[in-house]
């Protein structure tokens, strides 16, 4: 469980694919950062919303989108919660990106 003021870093990676791969982070559909890590720092209510990582293979331009991760930060007076299951969602996000890239490579080779 996360609380307002906690430091939060999201990680994005691909399990299969050829380099170079670039990573872009979206918050509520808008680009907010580039790179495999998104460091939010001390979170507050403004960090609420959906986050998504886009992995782009620079050799062929193929993109793999992670599932959206919903983050809701509420003030301490409102039972200070951030959307439950953040670690599970991040694990699923990484797994899905790997599967998408592997599927793409397998279909490209066949």
pLDDT digits (tens, 9 = 90+) for 12-64: 988 776 778 999 999 999 999 999 999 998 888 888 899 999 999 988 888 88
- Domain spans of the chain? 8-71
Angle at alpha carbon of residue 34, lines to 28 and 8, rounded to 5°:
65
Residue 97 pLDDT? 72
The beta-strand segments (E) located in the chain are 7-11, 21-27, 30-34, 37-42, 49-57, 63-65, 69-71
Residue 26 pLDDT? 96
- The Cα–Cα gap between 7 and 62 comes to 32
Angle at alpha carbon of residue 78, lines to 77 and 79, rounded to 5°:
100
C-alpha distances (whole Å) from 74 to each of 27, 28, 30, 90 are 17, 17, 22, 20
Nearest to 93 by CA among 74, 66, 70: 66
The CATH architecture that domain 8-71 belongs to is Sandwich (2.60)
Beta strand pairing status for 49-57 and 63-65?
A: antiparallel
In the chain the first and final C-alpha atoms are separated, in Å, by 44
- The Cα–Cα gap between 74 and 68 comes to 19
84-97 mean pLDDT = 63
Query: For the whole model, what pTM was predicted?
Result: 0.66
């Amino acid at each position: 469980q996360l609380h307002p003021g906690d430091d939060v870093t999201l990680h994005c990676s691909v399990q299969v694919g050829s380099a170079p791969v670039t990573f872009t982070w979206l918050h509520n559909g808008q680009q907010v950062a580039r790179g495999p890590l998104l460091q939010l720092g001390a979170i507050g209510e403004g960090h609420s919303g959906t986050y998504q990582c886009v992995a782009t293979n620079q050799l062929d331009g193929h993109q793999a989108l992670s599932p959206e991760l919903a983050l809701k930060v509420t003030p301490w007076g409102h039972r200070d919660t951030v959307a439950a299951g953040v670690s599970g969602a991040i694990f699923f996000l990484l797994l899905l990106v790997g599967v998408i890239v592997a599927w793409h490579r397998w279909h490209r080779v066949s």
